[in-house]
Amino acid sequence: MDINSMKQSFAEELMKTAEQYGVDVSIYRNGNYSPDEILKALNGKMAEIAARQVQEIDEENQNRLIAEVRFDISEIIGRINRELPPKPMIRFIPVEAESTDIFDSKLGGVPYLPKNFPYPVGKEGAYKDIPLKLLVQLNFEKLPHIDPFPEKGILQIFCTCANDDEDELFGADYGMNYDDMTDQNGFRVIYHENIITDRSQLIDESDLPEFEFNGCNFPFDGEFLLETQEPEEYAATIQDGSFRKLLMKYCSEAAGTELNEISELEQAGFGNMDFLRYNDGQYCCIGGYPCFTQTDPRYFDDNLKKFDTLLFQLDSESEENGLIMWGDMGVANFFIPEENLKKCDFSQVLYNWDCC
């Protein structure tokens, strides 16, 4: 095939394509045309089609915006905030340290324990008699006071380094019982109301048991001081199960139909819900309202509703201040009934952790 035949064949193929997209090709049927002319006409038509599609999208978005103002979500949020007022909270910044003191508020290290106090171990099953490792210690006598937390004493949470299921993520469950998150077998909460200051009566590093620690079955290695921030009032967010329940309830009432998901609120005309999906990130704290990588377990189980106070929360940290890792960038929460906290009764604590 010579070059002219090739050009003509290419032009004919271009003309077929142009005709499919609505280009008037009648002016080219006399054969007095070049491929460039047809290509120019085709490009013009494609630009026209693209502009029309953009206009249609704009009109669709405009219709969506009109639908979004059917209900005033701000009134509903205000109603929820009145039912779930802000709670006092103290944030902590974990700072990796070579060593910490037994009276410090900290993560890891040697716990405050009188020598005559039995070291906490697992009670049964795969955890039986296995020593638990100090996760966090809070010395309330050195912290700013917020209600309903104690004003004195030391609170500790211990977790196992062992694992009861080799199939768990990274070989670790961190002592949480998925079937009963209040089961203090793989974790333990201990409160020392009166602090002994005579160090000779307290354990030291030489008294610590050996832990089954391999770098992936505990959220961190080493120890961290907890740098205390000033108390603040923290408002509830969509991550809190009670907030979500009230939101769905009041939006369902307003729309006259049952709504269960954030996406359904947008479709029902409550507007863009992106502002509800996020809070200011995960954090280490006591008090306030929780955050989750997944979902608040209390949202699905009314039997857990009584665990209404965030006793302690620890999120994952990058290596900037030292590595803390719950699975894959997860977060752990410990909840307690407010009335129990007021009585310094830590026998009923809900322990949850989740990750990406």
Q: CA 321 to CA 152: how far, in whole Å?
A: 28
Determine the Cα–Cα distance for residues 177 and 168; give it in Å rounded to an integer. Answer: 12
What percent of the chain lies above the pLDDT cut of 90? Answer: 53
Q: Is the pLDDT assigned to residue 38 strictly greater than 80?
A: no
Summarize pLDDT for 195-244 with one digit per residue, the tens.
999 999 999 999 999 887 554 578 898 999 999 999 999 999 888 999 99
DSSP character at residue 299: G
**CB count, 10 Å around CB of 109?**
20
Q: How distant is the alpha carbon of residue 192 from its chain centre? A: 31
pLDDT top residue among 273 and 324: 324
pLDDT of residue 217: 77
Cβ-Cβ contacts under 8 Å for 243 (sequence gap 6 or more): 80, 84, 236, 237, 289
Give the bridge partners for 354, in sequence order.
331
pLDDT of residue 18: 61
Q: Specify the pLDDT at position 27.
A: 63
Per-residue model confidence (pLDDT) at position 279: 54
Indicate the pLDDT class of residue 161, thresholds 50, 70 and 90: confident
Question: 289 in the Ramachandran plot: left (φ > 0), alpha (ψ -120 to 50) or beta?
Answer: beta
Domain ranges of the chain: 3-68, 81-238+266-354
Which tens digits make up the pLDDT trace of 316-349? 887 665 588 888 888 999 999 999 999 999 999 9
CB atoms < 10 A from the CB of 347, how many?
10
81-238+266-354 domain in CATH 3.90.950.10? Answer: no
pTM score, two decimals?
0.78
Across the range 153-171, mean pLDDT stands at 72
Q: What is the pLDDT of residues 46-101, one digit of tens each?
A: 667 666 665 665 555 555 544 555 788 888 989 999 999 999 999 999 999 999 99
For 102-119, the pLDDT digits (tens) are 999 999 999 999 999 999
Higher-confidence residue of 77 and 154: namely 154
